[in-house]
Structure 1
Amino acid sequence: MKKQWRLLSLVSLVALLLGGCGKAFQSTLIPQGEVAKMQYDLLLLASAIMIGVVLVVTIIFLYVIVRFRQRKGQENYIPKQVEGNHKLEIIWTVIPILLLLVLAVPTVTYTFKLADVSAIEKKNIDKDTIVVDVTANLYWWEFSYNNEKLVTSQDLVIPTGKKVYLNLKGSDIKHSFWVPSLAGKMDTNPDNTNKMWIKADKSGTYNGFCAEFCGPSHALMQFKVKAVDESEYKKWVASMKDLDGKKAVASTQEQEGKQIFEKSCIGCHATGSNDNRPPSARIAPNLANFADRDMVAGIAENNEENVKKWLKDPESMKPGNKMTGKYGNLTDDQVDALNAYLQTLKVEK
């Protein structure tokens, strides 16, 4: 019995310690934006009410079992009965109603505020309003900036302190858009478009995930939200618009890589941010600023080793992805050349 209690105590302690772990870029308990803060406040309010109710009921329960426990010589003693006491019945009916009101009023208020996307539902959207069409694919994310007329993938860049409206849609099956530190999740469906907005309070990079099981690489379907100040955001937009997929290649290896890319990869991947193709034709991530991204395939650090590993055997990094089998086996020299070319796809500083 002692061993069982020790094991239980150890597991509880480990769970408690792990529960205290968290970083701003991926924790729902460290909100970094207005939406996340509202949801966090509701969580605290609901938790406080529930804990309060449990404490009160527990105290009453302990009082009753101690105060009215059976004592020697009082086996037949019956305490005073309160059944039918109108005052008590009113009290324990009114209190739950008040608690529900305390929880319901802010919940309803926040729900309507979070669902307010009227700014992008009107006929003429203000040119300063940032609207991004988010398309979820197996197993990657595409971001199309409406007013800016540019397309990118895997990295969603937004300005701090400003609402960013999102049109969420799935290209194949149901996925779910979730950036824990900025907002709760919302599904992306193939048949309809869901809308939401997010706002980041300060600059930083936040982790995003698919929160709906969608296949063998569901847990690997990740992306980044990069929040930058507004001036830097405008510079980024201007620089991205200058990318046209015709980056200058200097070395012989880069030129060879470009030739391989245009022969084997260009049918699926675009290298210019001004992608005018319909979403249905954009069947693979846009690589316009590939060399500027933090991650390869959304999950591994963007370095030479991981790029080459992905090019050589994408299935080993992300099972079930659509790139597997799209081209023949590449030699080591071809992989080196492709990597060299991909490193030229970046925003000019």
Structure 2
Amino acid sequence: MAIAGSGALLLTGCSAEVQRGWLPNVERDTTNHTGMIQDLWVNTWITVLLVGILTWGLMLWCIIAYRRRKTDTGYPRQLSYNLPIEIFYTAVPLVMVLTFFTFSDSTEKAINTPVDSELVVDIRAKQWAWDYNYTYQDQEKYDATVQAHLTGEEGRKAELPTLVLPVGKTVTLELNSRDVVHSFWVPAFLQKLDMIPGRTNYMYLTPEVEGQFDGKCAELCGEYHSEMLFNVKVVSEGEFLNHLATLKDGHVGEEYDRKPGEVNQLSAHTTEGK
């Protein structure tokens, strides 16, 4: 039983989910930002682990070096303070916090700096699906999707609402909500941003790897929040243009947003976007 248990434990290390160890389970160049995000993640963990090892070492040294011996009598000499040590313990954390802030801030600014994008997608979240308004090369197209009801049937995932993006093209995602607070999250992109009614948030990226990636709403938004899923499909420019040709002309904008006390006019349960 011990051998079988050890073998099963070792085999879990062969799964796709853990093949990258402690690294985020995302290819480094999925987008133009995933590399710098991974670098920030990994370097931060290395730093805090080194600090942890140093701190644990000092604690262990103090426990051993200053333990009470059998020959000791009475109380040890009492010290009210040690100015050099107190300055050291104040300065080091301050430097660490400023260093972490500097690297985090520079990475965040690089990610959130607006770019002159070749493709703009106005994404409008709704209970419990997504509307995609594409603007690309003077074309305006939209895809008003419907909620996917998960039944456990194989192949159901392919029927989820799909956001299609061209590989190698700069993209601006305009994130809006038609009703309540939602959150746009594509784990493979290592980026997540809330979608707040009455406010537009922006996400800038360049997909660099073709493929299909999972997406989901990451904010509890109502009864069917768990089914508010979508796919992101990164394709060649030619395939992307073919996809646009299948969509309807124009955009579906604020006119379908929920007004206070009303239900969505463009419901996630409709099939024709009307």
TM range (shorter): 0.7 to 0.9
Secondary structure in 2 matching 1:146 = strand
| 1:23, distance to aligned residue in structure 2 (A) | 8.5
| Counterpart position of 1:46 | 44
User: Could you tell me whether the CA contact under 8 Å between 1:240 and 1:273 is conserved in 2?
Assistant: no
User: Could you tell me whether the CA contact under 8 Å between 2:162 and 2:231 is conserved in 1?
Assistant: yes
Residue 234 of structure 1 aligns to which amino acid in structure 2?
G
| Counterpart position of 2:178 | 171
Give the structure with higher Rg (CA): 1
Cα RMSD (Å) = 3.3
Secondary structure in 1 matching 2:248 = coil
| Counterpart position of 1:65 | 63
User: Could you tell me whether the CA contact under 8 Å between 2:165 and 2:240 is conserved in 1?
Assistant: no
In structure 2, runs of 5+ residues without a counterpart are: 1-5, 146-160, 257-264
| 1:157, distance to aligned residue in structure 2 (A) | 1.4
Q: Structure 2 residue aligned with 1:283, among 258, 266, 273?
A: 266
- Higher relative CO (CA 8 A, sep ≥ 6), structure 1 or 2? 2
| Counterpart position of 1:21 | 17
| 1:118, distance to aligned residue in structure 2 (A) | 4.9
Are residues 56 and 76 of structure 1, via their aligned partners in 2, closer, same or farther at CA, if it must alter by over 3 Å?
A: same
1:186 aligns with 2:161: no
Secondary structure in 1 matching 2:176 = strand
Q: Structure 2 residue aligned with 1:136, among 114, 122, 125?
A: 125
| 1:108, distance to aligned residue in structure 2 (A) | 1.3
User: Could you tell me whether the CA contact under 8 Å between 2:133 and 2:251 is conserved in 1?
Assistant: no
| Counterpart position of 1:30 | 26
Q: CA–CA distance in 2 between the matches of 1:82 and 1:171?
A: 61
Are residues 241 and 19 of structure 1, via their aligned partners in 2, closer, same or farther at CA, if it must alter by over 3 Å?
A: closer
Could you say which structure has the higher helix fraction?
1
Q: CA–CA distance in 2 between the matches of 1:196 and 1:212?
A: 17
| 1:92, distance to aligned residue in structure 2 (A) | 2.7
1:100 aligns with 2:63: no
| 1:222, distance to aligned residue in structure 2 (A) | 0.8
| 1:61, distance to aligned residue in structure 2 (A) | 0.9
Q: CA–CA distance in 1 between the matches of 2:19 and 2:227?
A: 19
Between the two proteins, the alignment pairs up a number of residues equal to 233
| Counterpart position of 2:237 | 233
Q: Structure 1 residue aligned with 2:205, among 198, 210, 224?
A: 198
| 1:149, distance to aligned residue in structure 2 (A) | 1.1
Cα deviation, 1:182-238, whole Å, max 9, x if unaligned, reads 13211111211111112322111111110000112212111111112xxx323431x
Cα deviation, 1:8-54, whole Å, max 9, x if unaligned, reads xx9xx89x979982589xx9542522323333322223322322222
User: Could you tell me whether the CA contact under 8 Å between 1:150 and 1:240 is conserved in 2?
Assistant: no
TM-score normalized by the length of structure 1: 0.58
Residue 248 of structure 2 aligns to which amino acid in structure 1?
S
| 1:63, distance to aligned residue in structure 2 (A) | 1.0
Q: CA–CA distance in 2 between the matches of 1:213 and 1:18?
A: 33
Secondary structure in 1 matching 2:132 = strand
Cα deviation, 1:240-276, whole Å, max 9, x if unaligned, reads 4543xxxxxxxxxxxxxxxxxxxxxxxxxxxx42245
In structure 1, runs of 5+ residues without a counterpart are: 1-9, 121-128, 244-271, 285-320, 325-349
Are residues 226 and 90 of structure 1, via their aligned partners in 2, closer, same or farther at CA, if it must alter by over 3 Å?
A: same
User: Could you tell me whether the CA contact under 8 Å between 1:157 and 1:227 is conserved in 2?
Assistant: yes
| Counterpart position of 1:124 | none
Runs of 4+ in 1 over 6 A off after TM superposition: 16-20
| 1:84, distance to aligned residue in structure 2 (A) | 2.4
| Counterpart position of 1:155 | 162
Could you say which structure has the higher strand fraction?
2
| Counterpart position of 1:112 | 109
Q: CA–CA distance in 1 between the matches of 2:87 and 2:78?
A: 19
Which segment drifts farther, 69-78 or 218-227?
69-78
